[in-house]
Structure 1
């Protein structure tokens, strides 16, 4: 009840070779008008897939400096599993006068672009979390001109953090923390998360924040990195 429906297309600029990039100011203005939110609102987000698109929306809002956000653990599946009320009615909510202002001065805290990340990769000064499938990471499955992963990126598939026997709720955070540390992640050092279009890494971003882990997202993601012929790429299961 009272939920606003938002399609994923509102969250991305949909560039042909970087499909998940943050929208420009006009696109973000349209998003805020669609959501109808003021600085005084608290935005609670959910989806039907365990939190990836919901996490992506939260990240978009964080890039605007709006952090009054929460994620429903398990999304609509957990809501239904708890027997909570739903409705099929589309509610017309009154328009707010003081919409969130489009201010991208905060975005650098939450995102990294290709040029910046390329420099960090070449200097080996960045910790990378690739949360795609194993086949995408190794290069067996192509979703761009080139397959593989960014050099030194560690792999932990996003859905591994979800409990499919419990309405797609997150596994206990301590379990996920241990899995990440076993793979070689250092949760005391910042991390950059990425997938194909910063959709699945929306949940990785949320997980990092829940773990108290400083995180940014590479929203150009593999659709940008893998489509560029000059990007350094590693194939196979080894990070480097």
Structure 2
């Protein structure tokens, strides 16, 4: 099928609710930070989905079903075979259009968007502003659990979209690679101790994912963010881009916006700082 637009507005989605080829997925997850920003924990959004969701939506539990429970750091991607079985169980297969949303953070939706693309599936869009935008438009919601007939998902992994520790280490001194830190400026400078070691991976540039949405949570237009990306070198021809954050979630939001600007080849460092800072021999920069 024709590859759909990466970003879908609530009005567009509402007009297509009866389309049998449409698969709507709620990917809500919650990141809880303590007031000092020194500790964080993740919880599933399943309960909030059951309380209220877009009609017809199924739930993808990113924390418990779509990450590797045996990995050293949270939210590590599954192997392709397991991912294919679990996403297929939600009704994702050939000739469907997937629209992913969350409770308004956008990064959980872009995480599943990236994971689907990693496994070779391009017919996936993100709902702009998530459930809050849907409700603000006056559209109805449902409670309970919804299901779809299982489908056969064939994974065709694109390894170039996934970066690991070794790849990032080599990128530090490679002028043809742009490392993008997607966290807030204070954390980028090392003024926050949310991770075992403060700061950023050397040679990184900072594009805070929070700057990519407005105060209401709606994702900004490409014309609003193009200069931000251009001045950091991420749109330069011939340069590879690798995004990272704390745990590989916010980094997918930056990768999503770069895809909207034509850079569909951006890699995400899945373990991000959770992985990098666990090795005391790896360098960090502050300031």
TM-score bracket, normalised by the shorter chain, equals 0.7 to 0.9
Superposed CA deviations along residues 129-161 of structure 1, whole A, max 9, x for unmatched, are 111122221222223321210111111210111
- Whether 1:179 aligns to 2:234 is no
Say whether the 8 Å CA contact 1:197–1:221 is kept in structure 2: yes
The 3-state SS of whatever aligns with 1:169 is: coil
Q: CA distance change for structure 1 residues 186 and 24 in 2, over 3 Å: closer, same or farther? A: closer
Of 189, 192, 200, which aligns to 1:138?
189
The offset of 1:100, in angstroms, is 0.7
The offset of 1:78, in angstroms, is 1.1
More helix per residue: 1 or 2? 1
Of 115, 129, 139, which aligns to 1:84?
139
The offset of 1:179, in angstroms, is 2.4
Unaligned stretches of 5+ residues in structure 1: none
The offset of 1:94, in angstroms, is 2.5
The offset of 1:211, in angstroms, is 1.0
Cα distance in 2 between the residues matched to 1:56 and 1:100: 18
TM-score (norm 2): 0.74
More strand per residue: 1 or 2? 2
Structural RMSD (CA): 1.9
Cα distance in 1 between the residues matched to 2:117 and 2:184: 26
Of 123, 134, 149, which aligns to 1:94?
149
The offset of 1:15, in angstroms, is 5.5
TM-score (norm 1): 0.87
User: Number of matched residues?
Assistant: 229
The 3-state SS of whatever aligns with 2:128 is: coil
The 3-state SS of whatever aligns with 2:83 is: helix
Superposed CA deviations along residues 195-236 of structure 1, whole A, max 9, x for unmatched, are 111111121111010011241111121101111112121111
Q: CA distance change for structure 1 residues 169 and 93 in 2, over 3 Å: closer, same or farther? A: same
User: Residue 56 of structure 2 aligns with which residue?
Assistant: 2
Which of structures 1 and 2 has the larger relative contact order (alpha carbons within 8 angstroms, sep 6+)? 1
The 3-state SS of whatever aligns with 1:8 is: coil
- Whether 1:111 aligns to 2:166 is no
